[in-house]
Structure 1
């Protein structure tokens, strides 16, 4: 019956969460000494505004962060074929994200109390709203047809590149560019 299937899924989910976190420490990087974690990031822009006064850009959007935590994998057959589950972000280790080229009036703001999605493969997806300003490389020589290069330099203050390697990832459903309907009314072009 539907009720027994729900009960089985609920019991399986609870059992899985108990098994995953019985010896898990969210304060400890999940790989051993000298083992690197590839951290893939993607920013889905909802709004941006270039500020000519200080050469910075204000970004508002969704930041997707994806990595593999080998301690958070499981065999779906052991848990009623569950292949992914949502859990509170505070229960797991997450990379400490910093914007190296942030403008001083606004830092990267991510909610560290949200939800992450765990996949049975050990992949973790953390998606959160961001609101930040970053400095750009500006060239006003061809004003009003000037070009500005605004890169988002993400990294970690705690771990070096041998422990965490930040990479861009692209998902066909999540684009760094706005849709055409937004582009028509924009003063700047996003590429």
Structure 2
């Protein structure tokens, strides 16, 4: 009985195995791509660790291409460039060639980076570890053609270091390179060749920056201690240079023009009379306003060795606005001081400041002020005869007559006020001339801007 049961179980097991085998074999048949993959990966002599060369002294030529889709951002403070690119790598692996006629004339098959040998290419100035390595498993599939050509194409968002030159901000142009190096492979092992880039950003330019050109270059970098046998080795690299030009209109309208207007308003304190209570507060308000613009520029630009021309311009305006306050205080002290003005102790300077300079600066002279004050001490009939237009020519007024009606203390005050008003006008002219000089020199410095650098990566 047990023998019969064993036989039945054996027959049932064989039927199950045969049915499963038939089901698996008839479930699907591998297409040409699957057959090619099995054929290539089953080769005994293939290893993902071996370079695809017949002679170990030969170098693997890796051709790299780059398409710039968008220039996302350039952070001036951190000096970080963010771009969206399409990167392609191509090399020859004769071990992965096949006869297309043996596989239904199939000439292209998809492979995964971990299945075959791939060059390790990294971006040396990348700030993002995920975008540092290009041929990584997360980049997608490789395309393999029947002649053994392997191609990798992947989209990538790059965050790279870009050293900025902000001397001519906001009329500056920047050059941001992208460096590609084989990882720990000298040029006699891997030779990296960068092809001409393609700029596809014409329809997607950044609001502030414009990509004026995009070029590439190849070279060899002398790397000390790369190999144990040689003290120095050459490392093949490819570099892509992105030439950017800033649109200055935003900074001109929000930074340069308002700061210049504030500087001119600071000089307007000299137009106010010494007894005006808002004179000092106006100067202090303008200084605080210029401080805000200084902080704004400091927050935008990075810390570099060279001082931007615009920063120098704002610093000069800030210093002049600050100087208006002590000069205003000096003139107020001069106009309402109790002691006699030191400059008026000499006959030449007295005549200069109370008679000649008032006429030049259109300030009432000492004689005119004495005349006006002296008439206040006369009777109404004399005042009418002196000040009336009709009688002024018939009754000329002698200055000495009015000086007799003014006390010595009042004369000193009139002299001091006259000198203070003259100094206000002279300081106003001096500050305006200094402002115009600084503005013209700033324009001349900006005109020395060489503009967009030569469209070449050879020097970088």
When you count strand as a share of all residues, which structure comes out higher?
1
**Alpha-carbon contact 1:108-1:130 (below 8 Å) kept:** no
Determine whether 1:20 maps to 2:40: yes
Aligned to 1:4: none
**TM-score, normalised to structure 2's length?**
0.36
The SS at the match of 1:182 is: coil
Higher relative contact order (CA 8 A, sep 6+): 1
Deviation at 1:13, TM superposition (A): 2.6
The separation in 1 between residues aligned to 2:181 and 2:206, in whole angstroms, is: 33
Determine whether 1:153 maps to 2:157: no
Determine whether 1:51 maps to 2:75: yes
Determine whether 1:141 maps to 2:167: yes
Aligned to 2:145: 119
The SS at the match of 1:53 is: coil
The separation in 1 between residues aligned to 2:202 and 2:126, in whole angstroms, is: 28
The separation in 2 between residues aligned to 1:186 and 1:61, in whole angstroms, is: 19
The structure having more radius of gyration, on CA atoms, is: 2
The separation in 1 between residues aligned to 2:200 and 2:32, in whole angstroms, is: 41
Aligned to 1:132: 158
**TM-score, normalised to structure 1's length?**
0.81
> CA-atom RMSD, angstroms?
2.5
Deviation at 1:185, TM superposition (A): 4.5
1:47-83 deviation digits (Å, cap 9, x = unpaired): 3321211323122222111111111112212221111
The separation in 1 between residues aligned to 2:80 and 2:205, in whole angstroms, is: 20
Moved more, 42-51 or 28-37: 42-51
Long gaps (5+) in structure 1: 1-6
Determine whether 1:60 maps to 2:80: no
The separation in 1 between residues aligned to 2:110 and 2:204, in whole angstroms, is: 32
Q: Note closer, same or farther for the CA distance 1:190–1:108 as it changes in structure 2 (3 Å cut).
A: farther
Determine whether 1:108 maps to 2:132: yes
Deviation at 1:122, TM superposition (A): 1.0
Deviation at 1:11, TM superposition (A): 4.1
Q: Note closer, same or farther for the CA distance 1:29–1:157 as it changes in structure 2 (3 Å cut).
A: same
For this pair of structures, how many residues does the alignment match? 180
Q: Note closer, same or farther for the CA distance 1:53–1:120 as it changes in structure 2 (3 Å cut).
A: same
Deviation at 1:153, TM superposition (A): 0.9
Deviation at 1:12, TM superposition (A): 3.1
The separation in 2 between residues aligned to 1:17 and 1:159, in whole angstroms, is: 28
